[in-house]
Structure 1
C-alpha cells in the first residue's frame, strides 16, 4: 500500500535530515571552547607537565584521532540520509534496476548508497523469486550503516583502561619512592613527599583524562548508532510501503 510523502515524514520524525553531522559540529565547538577556557587557567599545561609517563598525552592523541573519524562517519551518515531522501522523495516514482545492483528512480541512476543497495537487492529478489525476502538483507543494511561503530566502542573502553593503567603506574611510582627512602630525616621526608605527589598526579591525571574522553566519545557513538538505527528503520519502512520488504 502506497503512502504519501507527508504521512511518511509524519510517522518518521527527522526524516529528510541528517542532523548527526550538525550534532558532531556542535559538540566539537563546545569541546574546543572548554579546552580554550582550560588553557586560559593553565589546566592543560599543568596536566601535561604533571604526567611524566605521558599516558595522558597518548589518551588525548587517540581521542583526537577517533573524534576525527566520528566526524567522517557523521558526514557519511548525513550523506546516506540525503541520498535516501532523493529516492523516497516521490511516492509515484518508479523504482527499477539497470542491472543486478544499480537502482534507478524514474530512469535516473541513483548514486551508490546503503539505501540504494538494499532496495536494489529487494528488486532483484522479487524479479527472480517468489515469497518473502530473507531477513539477512536487513541485517546487511544494518551492518553497512553501523558496523564500523564497533571499533569506536572498543576505543571508548580502551581509553578507560589506559586511564586505569596510568593509575596503577602512579601508585607504583609512589611505592617506589617510599621503598627507596633510607632514612626519615627532614630532607628525606621532603624527597619522599615530592615523589609521592608526583605519583599521585600521574594516577589522578590519567584517570581524569581517560574517563572524560571515554564519556565524550561514548556520547558521540551513541548519537551515531541512533542515527544509523533511525535511517535503517526509515529505509525498511519505505521498502515495505512499496511492497518490497
Structure 2
C-alpha cells in the first residue's frame, strides 16, 4: 500500500511527464512485440510446412528455382523490417525523453541545445536542436529540417517497397516461364501419338506447376511483406507528426516572445 501511495503521489505530482514516459515505453514495447509475434508465426508456419513436406514439393516442382529466390528475398526483407522496427521504437523512446525535457519549467535555449546535442542518435532531438540553433527569430522556418527528418524516418523504406514489388514480379516471371515450358512442349510435337502422351503430360504438368507455384509464392510473400512495411510507414509517420507537434508547442515556451 505504501508503494502504491508513493507511485500515485509521484504520478499526479507530474502528470505530463509521467504520461509521456508511459507512452514512450508503450510505443517501444508494442512495436517490437508486434513484429516479434508476427515473426514467431512465420517461423511456426515454416516449420509446419516443412513437416508436411510442402517446401520439398515446392523445390521439386520448380526447376527454375524462382521459388527459392522469392523465399530468400522475403526472409532477408523480414529480418530487415525487424531491425528497422527496433530502430524506430528507439526513436520513439528518445522522442519521449525530448518531450519530458520540454514539459518541465521553460529551459534556457543554450542549456536545452547542449542537452539535445548530447543524443546524436535521436533524430527528433537533433531536429529540435537544429531549430533552436536557428535562433528565436527563425526557428519556425522548419520546412527543410522537417523534410530531413522525414527522409531519415522514411527514406530507407523505399528500397524495401521495391523488393516487395519484386516478389510479385518474380512470381509473374515464374508464370511466364511455366507457360513457356508448356508451349515449347506442345510445339515440339509433330503429332500426338499414344506413346508420347505420358511425356507430353509430364512436360505440361511441370510447366503448369512452375507457373502456379511461383505465382502463389510471390503473391503470399508480397502480401506478408507489405503488411510489415505498412506498419513501418505508419510508425514513421507518427514519429514525424509527434516531432512537429512537439516543436510547435514545446519551442514556443523556449522562445515565448516570438
Question: Taking structure 1 as the reference length, what is the TM-score of the superposition?
Answer: 0.87
Q: Counterparts in 2 of 1:191-202, with a 5 A limit?
A: 191-202=199-210
Match of 2:124 among 98, 104, 115: 115
Q: Deviations over 1:78-122 (max 9, x none)?
A: 1111112122224116374579xx6516xx933421111110111
Q: Counterparts in 2 of 1:57-206, with a 5 A limit?
A: 57-90=68-101, 91-92=103-104, 94=107, 96=109, 103-104=114-115, 109-127=118-136, 129-130=137-138, 132-206=140-214
SS in 1 for 2:251: coil
**1:223 and 2:231 correspond:** yes
Contact 1:103 1:117 in 2 (8 A): no
**1:233 and 2:241 correspond:** yes
The number of residues matched between the two structures is: 236
SS in 1 for 2:217: helix
Deviation at 1:197, TM superposition (A): 0.2
Task: Tell me how large the CA RMSD over aligned residues is.
Answer: 2.6
Contact 2:131 2:139 in 1 (8 A): no
Contact 1:170 1:202 in 2 (8 A): yes
Q: Deviations over 1:9-67 (max 9, x none)?
A: 5xxx9544223222111110011111111112111110111000001111111111111
Q: Deviations over 1:217-240 (max 9, x none)?
A: 100000000011111111111111
Within 2, Cα distance between the matches of 1:53 and 1:88? 54
Cα 1:159–1:23 change in 2 (3 A) is same
Which consecutive unaligned segments of at least 5 residues does structure 1 have? none
Contact 2:95 2:124 in 1 (8 A): yes
Question: Taking structure 2 as the reference length, what is the TM-score of the superposition?
Answer: 0.83
Higher helix share: 2
Which consecutive unaligned segments of at least 5 residues does structure 2 have? 1-14
